[in-house]
Amino acid sequence: MHARFDELRTRLAEIHDLAKAAEILRWDEQVMMPPRGAAARAEQLATLNRVTHDRFTSPEIGRLLDDLAPFEEQHDFDSFEASLIRVTRRDWEKERKVPSDLRASMSRTATLGYATWVEARRTDDFSRFLPALREALELKRQYVACFDGDYDEPYDALLDDYEPGMKTAEVRETFEYLKEHQAPLVKEVVSHAGTPDQPTREFPVERQKEFELDVVRRFGFDPDSWRLDPTVHPFERNGSLQDIRITTRYFPTNLDGLFATMHEFGHGLYEHQVDPQLERTPLASGVSLAMHESQSRMWENLVGRSLPFWRFAFPRLAQLFPDAVAGEDAESWYREVNAVEPSLIRVEADEATYNLHIILRFELEQELLAGSFPLEQLQEEWDRRMWEYLGIEVPDAARGVLQDMHWSIGAVGYFSTYALGNLISAQIWAKVTDDLPDLDDRFEQGEFGALAAWLRENVHRHGRKFTPLETLERATGATRIDPEPYVRYLRRKLGDIYGLPVVGSR
């Protein structure tokens, strides 16, 4: 067994190296590459993806997995070897159904589509983006066709790429619960408090950068292993567990970029704290996008929008931006950064309205895949639903249908994991605060290491050794993604801020 396992691991390490090389090229594409490099970069990434795909889906990998099947059956998944065999088998069986040329075309189209999206968003011209979107969707339909009969409905094949084992019907049911319980909460808050005033302020960008680095270094950002750079749309990528690259964007009149930086830090910390023994294997990453989003949303909201955090951080904020926050204190600033106001932009949405942005995209993606309406009508459909779900008129495409990069790179099936991550974050937080009852006191002192250590021990170090639900159960005892704790958390928090009645969420 050992010789065959060692051979499998050697092959997988080479494949992992190729995939990480592509990661760094994609980071460069979105952070540093000059615009005219897009065409050549598209071919470079297409080649890398084709070679990686061919190596991974080779018959020899299949023969090694067959030879190792008895070991997998005889051991539980606490075993590194058994987990590696199980995860590789699952990935191999799905990926081998996808032709190499299709995988390369999807990669090439993603690079070119992203460049097109950047320009369409800059010029506020949805029609400019239409051809790239049409090609990306057609390739996604070809991809779904590779799994004919394997899933209950076509969208399952895409969702499964990001949230293994999750079914569209499960997400739909969860989102119906959120529409039933979260949407009325938003209306209740807005009705009770009205639309908050947003004073005009100036936050010089260089001081923002200084403040953000102060914050994330407290969280665990180490410049020897991490980078923080500006980009059009914030994201995290990594070249290894010790090469974590997060990005953000800055606005001179607000601190929305701070929360984007916290968000991407949460993604980076998850990757950074995977057990080093899993490096250069398929296990060396977060287990799913929903679990990943639970980490990013936790640091952004449950930490970064908490009163204990701002009791620590506000004095430094006031020192750097005395004019902008004149007359404020930690408590008033806490209320301001948690103000509920339906807004245009998903990544800048408050906690109460954020999931409604995701539900809109989740529903639209299924209709796009099915061709339920002409693609030319997408902007109109987007604007109609923004009014239906959030009561907002969309003034232009850049702040509407063109605001997210995901469809430009073919990432259809991704969006629902943001909302699922919110729900998981509340489930994990309940366990964290039980185990670390003095967490608020630690935050007020600027000490976040205990939280990072708890997450490393209970979530991060496992990487992909276990399924998403197995990972959730090990961390919290829960056997499913449950929306109720998140709604309960929101009602309690907003009830305290706005003086709402405390009632059960069911």
pLDDT digits (tens, 9 = 90+) for 303-332: 999 999 999 999 999 999 999 999 999 999
Based on the domain organization, do 187 and 322 belong to the same domain? yes
Residue 156 inside a domain? The answer is: no
Write the DSSP assignment of 431-452 as a string of letters.
HHHHH-TTHHHHHHTT--HHHH
Write the DSSP assignment of 107-131 as a string of letters.
HHHHHHHHHHHHHHHHHT-HHHHHH
Residue 451 inside a domain? The answer is: yes
Residues 48-54: what's their mean pLDDT? 96
Based on the domain organization, do 17 and 133 belong to the same domain? yes
Cβ neighbours for 129, distance < 8 A, ≥ 6 positions apart = 116, 117, 120, 121, 402, 408
Identity at 406, one-letter amino acid code = H
Share of the chain above pLDDT 90, in %: 91
How high is the mean pLDDT of the chain? 95
Based on the domain organization, do 130 and 202 belong to the same domain? no
Query: Which own/partner pairs from 194-198 qualify as long-range (CB within 8 Å, at least 24 positions apart)?
Result: 195/341, 196/336, 196/339, 196/340, 196/341
User: How far is residue 165's CA from residue 162's CA, in Å, rounded to a whole number?
Assistant: 9
Based on the domain organization, do 378 and 463 belong to the same domain? yes
User: How far is residue 120's CA from residue 211's CA, in Å, rounded to a whole number?
Assistant: 32
pLDDT digits (tens, 9 = 90+) for 374-401: 999 999 999 999 999 999 999 999 999 9
Identity at 164, one-letter amino acid code = P
pLDDT digits (tens, 9 = 90+) for 230-259: 998 899 999 999 999 999 999 999 999 999
Quote the pTM value: 0.95
Examine the pLDDT at 98 and tell me if it is beyond 60: yes
> Which strands form 243-248's sheet, in the order they lie side by side?
226-230, 243-248, 236-240
Based on the domain organization, do 213 and 269 belong to the same domain? yes
Examine the pLDDT at 197 and tell me if it is beyond 70: no
User: How far is residue 213's CA from residue 207's CA, in Å, rounded to a whole number?
Assistant: 10
CA atoms within 13 A on the CB side of 451: 28
Based on the domain organization, do 118 and 202 belong to the same domain? no
Residue 422 inside a domain? The answer is: yes
Residue 506 inside a domain? The answer is: no
Residue with tokens 């630690």, as numbered in its chain: 442
**Residue 202: is it exposed, middle or buried by C-beta count within 10 angstroms (0-12/13-18/19+)?**
exposed
Asked if residue 87 lies in contact with residue 284, where contact means CB atoms within 8 angstroms, the answer is no
Query: Which own/partner pairs from 273-278 qualify as long-range (CB within 8 Å, at least 24 positions apart)?
Result: 273/452, 273/455, 273/456, 273/460, 273/461, 274/241, 274/460, 274/461, 274/462, 274/463, 275/461, 275/462, 275/463, 276/241, 277/80, 278/80, 278/463, 278/464, 278/465
Q: Which whole-number Å values give the CA distances from 457 to 124, 242, 270, 407, in the listed order?
A: 46, 18, 11, 35
Residue 506 is predicted with a pLDDT of: 41
Residue 339 inside a domain? The answer is: yes
Residue 73 is predicted with a pLDDT of: 78
Asked if residue 119 lies in contact with residue 112, where contact means CB atoms within 8 angstroms, the answer is no
- The catalytic site residues sit at 264
Residue 504 is predicted with a pLDDT of: 46
Based on the domain organization, do 135 and 246 belong to the same domain? no
The alpha carbons of the chain give a radius of gyration, in whole angstroms, of 23
Asked if residue 132 lies in contact with residue 408, where contact means CB atoms within 8 angstroms, the answer is yes
Q: How many domains does the chain have?
A: 2
Instruction: Give the pairing of strands 226-230 and 236-240.
Output: unpaired
Closest by alpha carbon to 278, among 3, 4, 8, 9?
Answer: 9
Cβ neighbours for 107, distance < 8 A, ≥ 6 positions apart = 22, 42, 45, 46, 48, 49, 50
Q: Of the residues 123, 150, 177, which one is the last residue of a structural domain?
A: 150
Residues 401-419: what's their mean pLDDT? 96
Query: Which own/partner pairs from 309-312 qualify as long-range (CB within 8 Å, at least 24 positions apart)?
Result: 309/443, 310/334, 310/337, 311/443, 311/444, 312/443, 312/444, 312/445, 312/446
Examine the pLDDT at 505 and tell me if it is beyond 50: no
Based on the domain organization, do 138 and 209 belong to the same domain? no
Asked if residue 273 lies in contact with residue 460, where contact means CB atoms within 8 angstroms, the answer is yes
Residue 503 inside a domain? The answer is: no
Residue 152 structure tokens: 């209950």
Cβ neighbours for 100, distance < 8 A, ≥ 6 positions apart = 50, 53, 54, 57
Residue 416 inside a domain? The answer is: yes
Lowest mean pLDDT among 9-23, 189-203, 344-358, 410-424: 189-203
Residue 195 is predicted with a pLDDT of: 64
User: How far is residue 460's CA from residue 456's CA, in Å, rounded to a whole number?
Assistant: 5
Based on the domain organization, do 80 and 200 belong to the same domain? no
Residue 157 inside a domain? The answer is: no
User: How far is residue 291's CA from residue 472's CA, in Å, rounded to a whole number?
Assistant: 8
Based on the domain organization, do 289 and 332 belong to the same domain? yes
Examine the pLDDT at 419 and tell me if it is beyond 60: yes
Q: Of the residues 150, 181, 203, which one is the last residue of a structural domain?
A: 150
H or E stretch covering 31: helix 2-31
Residues 170-195: what's their mean pLDDT? 88
Residue 78 is predicted with a pLDDT of: 86
Return the CATH number at 370. Answer: 1.10.1370.30
Write down the H helix ranges in 57-194. Answer: 59-74, 80-95, 100-123, 126-145, 154-162, 168-193
Examine the pLDDT at 81 and tell me if it is beyond 70: yes
Write the DSSP assignment of 350-390 as a string of letters.
-HHHHHHHHHHHHHHHHHHHHT-S-GGGHHHHHHHHHHHHH
Residue 190 is predicted with a pLDDT of: 82
Residue 432 structure tokens: 């964290």
Asked if residue 420 lies in contact with residue 174, where contact means CB atoms within 8 angstroms, the answer is yes
Cβ neighbours for 7, distance < 8 A, ≥ 6 positions apart = 64
Based on the domain organization, do 298 and 434 belong to the same domain? yes
pLDDT digits (tens, 9 = 90+) for 465-498: 999 999 999 999 999 999 999 999 999 999 999 8
Residues 432-439: what's their mean pLDDT? 98
Examine the pLDDT at 108 and tell me if it is beyond 70: yes
Q: Of the residues 150, 181, 201, which one is the last residue of a structural domain?
A: 150
Q: Provide the residue range defining the domain that includes 253.
A: 169-498
User: How far is residue 257's CA from residue 203's CA, in Å, rounded to a whole number?
Assistant: 11
Based on the domain organization, do 145 and 196 belong to the same domain? no
pLDDT digits (tens, 9 = 90+) for 110-159: 999 999 999 999 999 999 999 999 999 999 999 999 999 999 999 999 99
* The dihedral sign for the CA sequence 366, 369, 371, 375: positive
Asked if residue 332 lies in contact with residue 185, where contact means CB atoms within 8 angstroms, the answer is no
Query: Helix/strand/coil (H, E, C) string of 213-275?
Result: HHHHHHHCCCCCCEEEEECCCCCEEEEECCEEEEEECCECCECHHHHHHHHHHHHHHHHHCCC
pLDDT digits (tens, 9 = 90+) for 11-27: 999 999 999 999 999 99
